[in-house]
């Protein structure tokens, strides 16, 4: 009874974390489904080309789907890792999390642009894709910062979670740099994005490495 009175007073709930995780997982799955729908569109060619030749001519769509899928997958892995340490939530956190999910569902759109204009306007197409990732990185930073600053995580996990929060803080500037590089060199920008995906593919391990580095510097 006392717990529920405290939740009504503060707006913080310790019972809704599983629901927000399930809801978020569903949105990530929906975003990936939208990517697949773009691929299905190539089954309706404008001319009577042979099936294999039609697929080979649509290599850009397959490449864009792969990039989009990896993007959403990496976002989901990191989102799952971030929420794993969050033991309570409030209304503001739900809105911040909703912003991230909104941006994730937009990912198929810049992915479709990338597939359509990869050859003709590669710099602008990749820049549009990169701009979406800047917004995602900002939302991810807000999720981690809000959870840390408002003590939505367990106290004994705060030191580790601080390193996790810092990754996304610097990640925003990294995404901005990659976005600007798009207008100079598409290859260099792709290398930057690939490096970021590799680093964030295992967020816990990457965070542990950063955390150890921070401890070593304090000594």
Is pLDDT at 55 greater than 80 in this prediction? no
Query: What's the pTM value of the predicted model, to 2 decimals?
Result: 0.81
Mean pLDDT taken over the chain = 83
3-state class (DSSP) for residue 44: coil
pLDDT digits (tens, 9 = 90+) for 10-49: 455 555 688 888 999 999 999 988 888 777 766 665 556 6
- SS3 at position 218: helix
Percent of the chain with pLDDT over 90: 36
Closest by CA to 7, choosing from 87, 79, 101, is 87
Q: What contacts 50, CB < 8 A, 6 or more positions away?
A: none
Predicted confidence (pLDDT) per residue in 149-175, tens digit: 998 988 888 888 888 888 889 989 999
């Amino acid at each position: 009874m006392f717990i529920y009175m405290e939740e009504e007073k503060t707006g913080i709930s310790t019972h809704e974390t599983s629901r927000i995780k399930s809801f978020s997982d569903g949105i990530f799955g929906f975003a990936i489904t939208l990517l697949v729908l773009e691929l299905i569109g190539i089954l309706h060619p404008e001319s009577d080309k042979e099936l294999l030749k039609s697929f080979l001519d649509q290599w850009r769509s397959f490449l864009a789907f792969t990039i989009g899928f990896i993007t959403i997958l990496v976002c989901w892995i990191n989102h799952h890792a971030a929420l794993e340490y969050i033991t309570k939530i409030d209304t503001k956190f739900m809105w911040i999390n909703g912003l991230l999910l909104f941006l994730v569902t937009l990912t198929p759109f810049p992915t479709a642009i990338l597939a359509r204009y990869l050859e003709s306007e590669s710099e602008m197409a990749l820049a549009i894709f990169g701009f979406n990732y800047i917004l995602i990185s900002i939302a991810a930073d807000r999720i981690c910062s809000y959870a840390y600053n408002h003590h939505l995580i367990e106290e004994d996990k705060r030191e580790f979670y601080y390193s996790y929060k810092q990754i996304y803080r610097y990640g925003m500037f990294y995404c901005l740099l990659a976005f600007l590089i798009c207008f100079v060199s598409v290859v260099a920008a792709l290398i930057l994005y690939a490096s970021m995906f590799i680093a964030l593919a295992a967020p816990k391990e990457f965070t542990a490495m950063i955390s150890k580095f921070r401890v070593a510097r304090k000594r």
